[in-house]
Amino acid sequence: MKTLKIINQNTNIQFLKYKKITLSISIIFCLISFFSLFINGLNFGIDFKGGSLIEVKSDESINISDVRSKLSLLNLGDVQIQNFGSEKKYLS
């Protein structure tokens, strides 16, 4: 049975011939990334901020501005309240 030969058996690639160039390029990219990290800092997306998502269903309609003003007195941080689905469902 004849096998498929993708690479010639007499192939001779001298990888270590380019080690100084590739090492210096790698070191330059690492230094650029470290400086960029210290200058710009990390940008944590919404996935890393944490928090809770609460769905509330009421029998009667509630004024959202009243709920927002009451929650602002509790110093909970950034609380967002919005209608969800119908006028009696709220998402916080």
Q: Which positions ≥6 away from 87 have C-beta within 8 Å?
A: 61
User: Is 60 part of a structural domain of the chain?
Assistant: yes
pTM: 0.41
Are 55 and 82 in contact by the 8 Å Cβ rule? The answer is no
The answer to whether position 77 is within a domain reads: yes
Distance CA 32, CA 21 (A): 17
Please work out, in degrees rounded to the nearest 5, the angle formed at the alpha carbon of residue 74 by the alpha carbons of 56 and 85: 20
Number of H helices, E strands in the chain: 2, 3
Geometric angle at alpha carbon 31, from 25 and 33, rounded to 5°: 105
What string of pLDDT tens digits covers the 92 residues of the chain?
677 888 888 888 888 999 999 999 999 999 999 999 989 888 766 666 666 777 778 888 777 788 788 878 887 777 777 777 777 777 76
Provide the residue range defining the domain that includes 72: 48-91
Kindly state whether residue 35 falls inside one of the protein's structural domains: no
Q: How many domains does the chain have?
A: 1
Quick check: is 9 in a domain? no
Residue 41 in any domain: the answer is no
Q: Is residue 57 part of a domain?
A: yes
Task: State the number of CA atoms in the 13 A half-sphere of 54 facing the CB.
Answer: 9
